[in-house]
Structure 1
Amino acid sequence: MRILVLGVGKTGKLVAEIAAEHGHSVHVLDAKENKDAAALTPPFVAGFDVVIDFTTPEAVISNMRAVLATGGKMVVGTTGWYEKLADMSSLADRRGASLLYGTNYSIGVQITMELAKRMTDALKNFGYTFSISETHHTSKLDSPSGTALTLRDVVAAELPADTAVTITAHRIGDAAGIHTLEAESSSDKLLLTHESKSRRSFAEGAVRAAEWLAEQKPAVYNFRDVYDKV
């Protein structure tokens, strides 16, 4: 399979390495080579089976517009752009493109989301309050993280509409990512924590997602809905 990786940050580099390990042909574009998505012309995009984006919230919208307009297939691991999700989904639908997006491509994180749902549902009627803390590296641009926001949505969906679920964000060193759901009552406290030891789980999940997407009919997919299929 021919894969185009957009972004040569720490995760983007690892995505390219893992895609090559999987036997795929990989081409990488950095920000200088693809300013304002200028490199993503229709003939260029047509040369790849799937495009994987791990860039920045500022760059990803232009990249999506360029790729989806060609009817291409795109896996987006960049976060911080979801206010434009409806627009990008509409573009994909109109052009017969495929878009797979997600706040986190780690299978462990997806299992954590399922456990969080069960934990909240089991405790919500016993006087517990729920909060989330997250820690990432200092160069992460969005705060709170997309994963923390998704975790909050999962928890909030099990609670009354007016229930607050606070998020505390920390930026420390080169931390790959720690997310903790805390449920506290007057008598005890429960903690559900996912700690990333490296970015490899994110990159591996993104490559598997690209492999899966390449075989699907054009549509818009949330990784949370398909992680168990990749």
Structure 2
Amino acid sequence: MRILVLGQGKTGKLVATIAAERGHGVHVLDAKENAHASALTPPFVAGFDVVIDFTAPEAVVQNMRACLATGAKMVVGTTGWYDKLPDMRALAERKQAGLLYGTNFSIGVQVMFQLAAKMGESLKNAGYKFSIEETHHVTKLDAPSGTAITLATVVETASGYQRVPIESKREGDAPGTHVLVAQSEADKLTLTHESFSRRGFAEGAVRAAEWLSSRTGCYDFQHIYTQI
């Protein structure tokens, strides 16, 4: 398979490495080469089976418009653009393209979402207050993280809790830690996911690209991760 990776940040570079390890041909574009999606012409995009985007919120929507308009398959790990999701879903469906997005491509984090939903449902009438703390590296652009926002949404939906507060910390080169706390007057329950490296995110994104390569439509990684 030929994979185009957009973004040469730490995760993007690792995505390219893992894709090559899994036997795929890889081409990487950094921000300077692809300003305002200028490199993503239809003939260029047609040379790849799947595009994987790990860029930035200000770049990703232009990248999606350019790629999906050609009917391309696209995996998006960038966050901070979900207000445009209805438009991107409609574009993918109209052009018979493939779009797979997610706030986190780690399998462990996906399991955490499931457990968080169970916590929210089980504790919703038991007097517990929920809170989230997330820690990432100092160069992470968004705060709170997309993963933390998803985690809060999962708990709010399951528990009916109006708003789960999120505390964001940016420290050193931390790849990512998310902690969900449910506390009552009697006790405290804590659910933690700690990443030791970015490899889990990158490998999940490449496996997601392999899954998407034979499909069209719009998918949330939360709903398909058990199939990759």
- Please give the TM-score of this superposition, normalised by the length of structure 1: 0.98
> Separation in 1 of the partners of 2:141 and 2:86?
22
TM superposition shift of 1:91: 0.9
Aligned residue number for residue 194 of structure 2: 195
CA distance in 1, matches of 2:159, 2:200: 30
Counterpart CA distance in 2 for 1:220 and 1:8 is 25
Shift >2 Å, 4+ stretches: none
1:112 aligns with 2:112: yes
Shift of 1:94: 1.2
Q: In the aligned structure 2, how far is the partner of 1:90 from the partner of 1:149?
A: 23
Please give the per-residue CA displacement for 1:91-118, whole angstroms capped at 9, x wherever unaligned: 1111111100000000000000011111
Distance in 1 (CA, whole Å) between partners of 2:183 and 2:165 is 13
Alpha-carbon separation, structure 2, partners of 1:120 and 1:52: 33
The runs of 5 or more residues in structure 1 that have no matched partner are none
Cross-structure match for 2:212: 213
Aligned to 2:56: 56
Q: Does 1:227 align with 2:213?
A: no
Q: Please give the alpha-carbon distance, in whole angstroms, between the structure 1 residues aligned to 2:94 and 2:124.
A: 42
Structure 2 matches for 1:1-230, cutoff 5 A?
1-160=1-160, 163-216=162-215, 218-230=216-228
Paired with 2:162 and 2:20, the residues of 1 have a C-alpha distance of 46
Q: Is the 8 A contact 2:123 2:159 kept in 1?
A: no
3-state secondary structure, aligned to 2:226: coil
C-alpha separation in 1, matches of 2:33 and 2:6: 10
Secondary structure at 2:159 match in 1: coil
Q: 3-state DSSP class of the match of 1:228? A: helix
Q: What letter corresponds to residue 166 of structure 2 in structure 1?
A: I
For 1:220 and 1:132, the matched residues in 2 are separated by 29
CA drift of 1:163 comes to 2.4
Task: Please report how far the alpha carbon of residue 86 of structure 1 lies from its aligned counterpart in structure 2 after TM superposition.
Answer: 0.8
What is the Cα deviation at residue 192 of structure 1?
0.1
Mapped to 2, the partners of 1:105 and 1:163 lie a distance apart of 27
What amino acid is the match of 1:222? Answer: D
Count of residues in Structure 1 that have an aligned counterpart in Structure 2: 228
Which 5+ residue runs of structure 2 have no aligned equivalent?
Answer: none
1:57-113, Cα deviation, whole Å (9 max, x unpaired): 011011000000000000000001111111111111111111000000000000000
Distance across 2 between alignment mates of 1:89 and 1:164? 27
Residue by residue over 1:119-145, the C-alpha shift from the partner in whole angstroms, topping out at 9 and shown as x without a partner, is 121122211011111011111111100
Aligned equivalents of 2:137, 2:102: Cα separation in 1 = 19
Q: CA deviation at 1:41?
A: 0.3
Aligned residues: CA RMSD: 0.8
Q: Hey, what's the Cα distance between the residues in 2 that align with 1:18 and 1:164?
A: 37
